[in-house]
Amino acid sequence: MATLTRERILEAAVRLADRDGPDAVTLRKIAGELGVHVTSLYNHVPTRDAVTDGIVELLLDEAKLPTGPIAWDDWVREFIDAVGGIAATHPGAFHALQQVPVQGARATASFEVALAAFRAAGFSPADAFAAVKNAAYLALMIGQERSMVARGDLHETRLDALPAESFPLVRSVASDAADYENVWAFGVETLVAGLRARLSEQDGR
């Protein structure tokens, strides 16, 4: 049997979450997945919270967040795309990112280069911080929808069940015209445009 390590335990937790949903990730079920007694996990992950923190670490490592010199608008796009990518790849495990703050060395390294990029472009310290936080919020929101789509859990209102005379505009949006990729891209570009406008206002003062 392979040596039990923290990495093996966390990888098993991610598999469980993606296969059976986030609620399936318990120490007992992880132990069952690995074919070991639950007490053998305690030296590596003593609590369920430690497992959640570890899942977040694994996902952020896999996400390959931007950490090198980069323009601020490219950082926004790449960061949100990276988070969305792990949501689509790990729709069950992604839930962990909604339970604890996006933290750790890899995430912080990405935030560091982001702040440098925003400051170099002329954003004030407060605006640079707010920009990074808003990009992170949007990344998690889009990631949540991506994970729901991947799991088949994103349910839309049945437009054909709505009376046409009361909801003519809503009914005109056919369900097969819902392009989530376009919706998510629209949100990203709207954030970028808003930040660019904010920078112009700041430069004009």
Q: State pLDDT tens for residues 63-118.
A: 999 999 999 999 999 999 999 999 999 999 999 988 877 767 778 899 999 999 99
Predicted local distance difference test score (pLDDT) of residue 128: 96
Predicted local distance difference test score (pLDDT) of residue 171: 74
Tell me if the pTM is above 0.85. yes
Q: Which residues contact 131 (CB under 8 A, 6 or more apart)?
A: 72, 76, 114, 118, 123, 195
Q: Which parts of the chain fold into alpha helices (H)?
A: 6-20, 27-34, 48-63, 72-89, 105-121, 125-151, 168-172, 180-204
Place of tokens 């990203």: 188
Which stretches of the chain drop beneath a pLDDT of 70?
1, 103, 154-157, 174-178, 203-205
Question: Domain map of the chain by residue range?
Answer: 1-46, 64-204
Maximum pairwise Cα distance, the chain: 67
- Report the topology of domain 1-46: Arc Repressor Mutant, subunit A (1.10.10)
Predicted local distance difference test score (pLDDT) of residue 134: 96
Q: Which residues contact 45 (CB under 8 A, 6 or more apart)?
A: 6, 9, 10, 27, 30, 51, 54
- Report the topology of domain 64-204: Tetracycline Repressor; domain 2 (1.10.357)
Q: Which two tokens stand for residue 35?
A: 């074919």
Is residue 128 within 8 Å of 69, Cβ to Cβ?
Answer: no
Q: Which two tokens stand for residue 175?
A: 């369900």
